[in-house]
Amino acid sequence: MTVKRIKEGIYKVEDSQGTWIATGGFATMNGKWVAHECNTYEECTTLNSWAVQFDTFKQLKQYAKSF
């Protein structure tokens, strides 16, 4: 899994199953961490959301590995 910081609270992640955008902290209204299956932050929508939110980026990455 490679993680590239786009800007504060927004990361582009590549793993064995594809590319996804992680957002959280200051980048989300409630500070929770969410993921979208897309290549850019601008492409993030409800339709490509993982639908689940976590307290930390670390938890989100662990969830990503569970598939």
Partner 1 sequence: MNDKQHLNFNRNSLTISTLHNTNNMKTTQVADNQQINWKPTHTYNTTQIIDNVIWFGLNYNYDFIDQCWSDDLSLANHLKDKFSTCTEGLHKMSNVNSRIGYGVFTRFLTMLDSGNRERLYNYILTIKKQ
Which stretches of the chain bind partner 1, using CB under 8 A? Answer: 17-18, 20, 32, 34-35, 37, 46-54, 59, 63-64, 67
Distance between CA atoms of residues 47 and 61, nearest Å: 20
CB of 16 to partner 1, least distance (A): 9
CB of 5 to partner 1, least distance (A): 21
What separation in angstroms does the CA of 25 have from each of 14, 30, 66, 67?
20, 8, 22, 24
Choice between 10 and 35, CB closer to partner 1: 35
Choice between 6 and 37, CB closer to partner 1: 37
Helix, strand, or coil here: 65? Answer: helix
Helix, strand, or coil here: 31? Answer: coil
CB of 35 to partner 1, least distance (A): 7
